[in-house]
Structure 1
Amino acid sequence: MSKKIVPVILAGGKGTRLWPLSRATAPKQFIQFVGDQTLFQETLMRVSDTAVYEAPIVLTNEEFRFLVAEQAREVGVALSTVLLEPMARNTAPAVAAAAAVVAERFDADTVIHVLGSDYEIDANATYFDCVRTARDGAASGKLVTFGITPTEPATGYGYIEGGTEVGNGIQAVKRFIEKPVLEKAEDMLAAGGFYWNSGMFMFKVSTLLAEMNEYAPEVVRAASEAVRAAVNDLDFTRLDAEAFSKSPDISIDYAIMEKTANATVVPSPFRWSDLGSWDSVWKSGDRDADGNVATGNTTVVNTRNSLVMTHGVHLAVQGLEDVAVIASEDAVYVGNLKDSQNVGSLVKLLAKSPKTSKLTELHPTSYRPWGGYTSICNGDRFQVKRIFVTPGKKLSLQKHHHRSEHWIVVKGTAEVTVGDKVQMLRENESVYIPLGEMHRLANPGKIMLELIEVQTGSYLGEDDIVRIVDEFGRT
Structure 2
Amino acid sequence: MGPLIPCIIAGGAGTRLWPVSREALPKPFMRLPDGESLLQKTFKRAALLPDVDQLLTVTNRDVFFRTLDDYRTCMPSDLTLDFILEPFGRNTAPAIAAAALHIAQRYGSDAHVLILPADHLITDITAFQHAVERARHLADQGWLVTFGIQPTRPETGFGYIETGSALGSDGFKVTGFIEKPDCVKAQQFLEGGLHLWNSGMFCMRVDSFLQELQEHAPQILTAISHCLAHSQLFEGSQQRHLELDSQTFALNQDISIDYALMERSKKVAVVPCKLGWSDIGSWQAVRELSPTDRHGNQCVGEHVLHDVHNCYIDSSSRLVAGVGLKDLVIIDTPDALLVADAGRTQDVKYIAQALKQQGHDAYRLHRSVMRPWGSYSVLEEGPGFKLKRIVVKPHGALSLQLHRHRSEHWIVVSGTAQVTNGDQQFMLGRNESTFIKPGRQHRLVNPTDDELVMFEVQCGDYVGEDDIVRFNDRYGRTEIP
> Structure 1 stretch 59-68 or stretch 331-340: which is displaced more?
59-68
2:157 alignment partner in structure 1: 156
Q: Deviation of residue 431 (structure 1)?
A: 1.9
1:252 to 253, 257, 262: 257
Going from structure 1 to structure 2, the CA distance change for 1:315 and 1:232 (only over 3 Å counts) comes to farther
Contact 1:84/1:238, CA 8 A, preserved across alignment: yes
2:312 corresponds to 1:307? yes
Which amino acid letter does the alignment assign opposite residue 189 of structure 1? L
Going from structure 1 to structure 2, the CA distance change for 1:439 and 1:274 (only over 3 Å counts) comes to same
1:194 alignment partner in structure 2: 195
Contact 1:311/1:329, CA 8 A, preserved across alignment: no
Going from structure 1 to structure 2, the CA distance change for 1:165 and 1:191 (only over 3 Å counts) comes to same
- Provide the C-alpha distance between the structure 1 equivalents of 2:213 and 2:470, rounded to a whole number of angstroms: 45
Contact 1:403/1:459, CA 8 A, preserved across alignment: no
- Provide the C-alpha distance between the structure 2 equivalents of 1:138 and 1:55, rounded to a whole number of angstroms: 19
1:229 alignment partner in structure 2: 230
> Structure 1 stretch 332-341 or stretch 124-133: which is displaced more?
124-133
1:277 alignment partner in structure 2: 282
Contact 2:407/2:435, CA 8 A, preserved across alignment: no
1:291 to 285, 290, 296: 296
Q: Deviation of residue 349 (structure 1)?
A: 4.1
RMSD: 2.7
Q: Deviation of residue 214 (structure 1)?
A: 1.8
Q: Deviation of residue 258 (structure 1)?
A: 2.1
1:331 to 318, 324, 336: 336
Which amino acid letter does the alignment assign opposite residue 442 of structure 2? H
2:443 alignment partner in structure 1: 440
3-state SS in 2 of match to 1:17: helix
2:260 corresponds to 1:268? no
2:411 alignment partner in structure 1: 407
Which amino acid letter does the alignment assign opposite residue 11 of structure 1? A
Contact 1:298/1:309, CA 8 A, preserved across alignment: no
Contact 1:159/1:179, CA 8 A, preserved across alignment: yes
Going from structure 1 to structure 2, the CA distance change for 1:247 and 1:329 (only over 3 Å counts) comes to same
Which amino acid letter does the alignment assign opposite residue 205 of structure 1? V
> Structure 1 stretch 106-115 or stretch 9-18: which is displaced more?
9-18
Q: Deviation of residue 438 (structure 1)?
A: 4.5
Q: Deviations over 1:195-218 (max 9, x none)?
A: 100000001111111111222222
- Provide the C-alpha distance between the structure 2 equivalents of 1:268 and 1:136, rounded to a whole number of angstroms: 15
Going from structure 1 to structure 2, the CA distance change for 1:185 and 1:204 (only over 3 Å counts) comes to same
Contact 1:12/1:64, CA 8 A, preserved across alignment: no
The unaligned stretches of length 5 or more in structure 1 are none
- Provide the C-alpha distance between the structure 2 equivalents of 1:299 and 1:260, rounded to a whole number of angstroms: 55
1:57 alignment partner in structure 2: 56
2:359 corresponds to 1:360? no
- Provide the C-alpha distance between the structure 2 equivalents of 1:474 and 1:450, rounded to a whole number of angstroms: 26
Contact 1:163/1:171, CA 8 A, preserved across alignment: yes
Q: Deviations over 1:60-91 (max 9, x none)?
A: 23443343333334544776332233443321
Q: How does 1:27-426 map to 2 (within 5 A)?
A: 27-49=26-48, 51-76=50-75, 80-232=81-233, 236-351=241-356, 353=358, 357-401=360-404, 402-410=406-414, 412-418=415-421, 419-423=423-427, 425=429
- Provide the C-alpha distance between the structure 2 equivalents of 1:50 and 1:134, rounded to a whole number of angstroms: 13
Q: Deviation of residue 322 (structure 1)?
A: 1.4
Aligned length: 469
> Structure 1 stretch 430-439 or stretch 250-259: which is displaced more?
430-439
Going from structure 1 to structure 2, the CA distance change for 1:429 and 1:312 (only over 3 Å counts) comes to same
Going from structure 1 to structure 2, the CA distance change for 1:194 and 1:327 (only over 3 Å counts) comes to same
Contact 1:20/1:328, CA 8 A, preserved across alignment: yes
- Provide the C-alpha distance between the structure 2 equivalents of 1:329 and 1:307, rounded to a whole number of angstroms: 18
Contact 1:32/1:38, CA 8 A, preserved across alignment: yes
- Provide the C-alpha distance between the structure 2 equivalents of 1:424 and 1:139, rounded to a whole number of angstroms: 61
- Provide the C-alpha distance between the structure 2 equivalents of 1:166 and 1:331, rounded to a whole number of angstroms: 51
- Provide the C-alpha distance between the structure 1 equivalents of 2:134 and 2:450, rounded to a whole number of angstroms: 43
Contact 1:231/1:240, CA 8 A, preserved across alignment: yes
Which amino acid letter does the alignment assign opposite residue 386 of structure 1? R
> Structure 1 stretch 239-248 or stretch 185-194: which is displaced more?
239-248
Contact 1:403/1:460, CA 8 A, preserved across alignment: no
Q: Deviation of residue 2 (structure 1)?
A: 5.5
Contact 2:331/2:339, CA 8 A, preserved across alignment: yes
Q: Deviation of residue 413 (structure 1)?
A: 4.0
Query: Which TM-score applies when normalising by structure 1?
Result: 0.89
Q: Deviation of residue 326 (structure 1)?
A: 0.3
Which amino acid letter does the alignment assign opposite residue 384 of structure 1? L
> Structure 1 stretch 247-256 or stretch 37-46: which is displaced more?
247-256
- Provide the C-alpha distance between the structure 1 equivalents of 2:330 and 2:6, rounded to a whole number of angstroms: 36
Q: Deviation of residue 113 (structure 1)?
A: 0.6
The unaligned stretches of length 5 or more in structure 2 are none
Contact 2:469/2:479, CA 8 A, preserved across alignment: no
- Provide the C-alpha distance between the structure 2 equivalents of 1:68 and 1:12, rounded to a whole number of angstroms: 12
Q: Deviation of residue 301 (structure 1)?
A: 4.2
Going from structure 1 to structure 2, the CA distance change for 1:447 and 1:48 (only over 3 Å counts) comes to farther
Q: Deviation of residue 47 (structure 1)?
A: 1.4
Identity %: 37
Going from structure 1 to structure 2, the CA distance change for 1:302 and 1:132 (only over 3 Å counts) comes to farther
2:451 corresponds to 1:452? no
Which amino acid letter does the alignment assign opposite residue 127 of structure 1? F
Query: Which TM-score applies when normalising by structure 2?
Result: 0.88
1:431 to 430, 433, 436: 433
Going from structure 1 to structure 2, the CA distance change for 1:318 and 1:413 (only over 3 Å counts) comes to farther
Which amino acid letter does the alignment assign opposite residue 452 of structure 1? F
- Provide the C-alpha distance between the structure 2 equivalents of 1:309 and 1:334, rounded to a whole number of angstroms: 11
Going from structure 1 to structure 2, the CA distance change for 1:375 and 1:123 (only over 3 Å counts) comes to farther
